[in-house]
Structure 1
């Protein structure tokens, strides 16, 4: 069965509100503790993956029995994080989009690694994004429609040394043929002026972060 969207629930900060993101036809992956979270909330993952080192043995049996499929790995020999393992399996599905939930939290290294994974989504021509309680993060190398998702701000941050030819339409602070460079804050805390806005760039990779205060 061809799935147009894959949802990954991973082991960072998770909220019951994220369960509302699940739609009919989604392929649902639980990564490590994210798999147990889904099962505890009555959701059967299509796939559970990871080393499961954060799950007690008795709960691991529950994950095995309640998941359609389990892919586990050795916690010592593995080279990828649980989230990246799940992301690789999501890419293999060739969906139109991938949404990652629980990808942020107190571990800044894991958060940054998960944000950097969005680059691989672009390389596979798959729209990928990260959602948490206060942020919706996506990445573009060409153009993107930014829809109002209830967040206060829209910040634009370069993920390459520079991003050139930036054009914004539908924002309170439009840009025309602008350039953003690493270390600059020019693109921080813009706002949508309409229900949606358009971001177009000519070169580089641009993070688009919709956010609100906690």
Structure 2
């Protein structure tokens, strides 16, 4: 793992170079006031009048104007082409929570890369905010205050087993895997949902309207201790 570039006691907004409506940036910054950019996310922040604390990435899409406007000490080029800029940023931010905006869009490969990074770096509490949904790596245990009828999807990116309370389709006894059983479009049946998983690799997807409740639950939940290592965990 790379040494941290950003160490914050408050939540961090991570801006990407994808579609980033002003309302999404405002939503994130109101909850995570420290702004960090992944590559051309810097242009998006500057356009909104926000100076990033740091910029991370291979710098293949950041504009010359943004390079000139941002102090050199805040620029952290990482030319490694084997990892996405989102992945690189997650690895070098230490904060209680990261809210990622500007990382969802039309390209499926970019979206899959983001989900891959969430699953591989589950010790970083990060919520990706999309137009309608939010996604995050499920911690070992999670207690969510939701509304009966809410959708709660679970998508495994590794072999994972878990238990649940408050879901229409319980998780008990199921062997989840990306090539097998998945848990999309489950439905909440109680005001409190309890989830537990035996290892990292499960992504949770909730309606965007439940962002604040997801933040509260994640901050209260235990965290995985390290990046996911399938060979070491047997999954």
TM range (shorter): 0.7 to 0.9
**Aligned equivalents of 1:118, 1:55: Cα separation in 2:** 23
Question: In the alignment, which residue of structure 2 is the partner of 1:173?
Answer: 169
TM-score, normalization by structure 2: 0.71
**Aligned equivalents of 1:24, 1:170: Cα separation in 2:** 27
| 1:173 to partner: Cα distance | 3.2
Question: In the alignment, which residue of structure 1 is the partner of 2:118?
Answer: 118
**Aligned equivalents of 2:13, 2:198: Cα separation in 1:** 30
Q: Cα deviation per residue 1:182-203 (whole Å; 9 max; x = unaligned)?
A: 3446522112234441211235
Moved more, 201-210 or 127-136: 201-210
User: Does 1:163 pair with 2:169?
Assistant: no
Contact 1:50 1:82 in 2 (8 A): yes
**Aligned in 2, Cα 1:174/1:110: closer, same or farther, shift over 3 Å?**
same
Aligned counterpart for 1:201 among listed residues 197, 202, 207: 197
**Aligned equivalents of 1:195, 1:41: Cα separation in 2:** 37
**Aligned in 2, Cα 1:109/1:21: closer, same or farther, shift over 3 Å?**
same
Question: In the alignment, which residue of structure 2 is the partner of 1:35?
Answer: 42
| 1:59 to partner: Cα distance | 4.2
Segments of structure 2 that go 5 or more residues without pairing to the other structure are 1-6, 209-235
**Aligned equivalents of 1:101, 1:57: Cα separation in 2:** 22
Contact 1:121 1:128 in 2 (8 A): no
TM-score, normalization by structure 1: 0.77
Contact 1:46 1:68 in 2 (8 A): no
User: Does 1:72 pair with 2:70?
Assistant: no
**Aligned equivalents of 2:182, 2:58: Cα separation in 1:** 41
Give the aligned CA root-mean-square deviation in angstroms: 3.0
Aligned counterpart for 1:82 among listed residues 82, 85, 92: 85
**Aligned in 2, Cα 1:131/1:25: closer, same or farther, shift over 3 Å?**
closer
Q: Cα deviation per residue 1:8-53 (whole Å; 9 max; x = unaligned)?
A: 1111221222222224774321112211111111222111223433
Number of paired residues? 200
Question: In the alignment, which residue of structure 2 is the partner of 1:15?
Answer: 21
Contact 1:3 1:25 in 2 (8 A): no
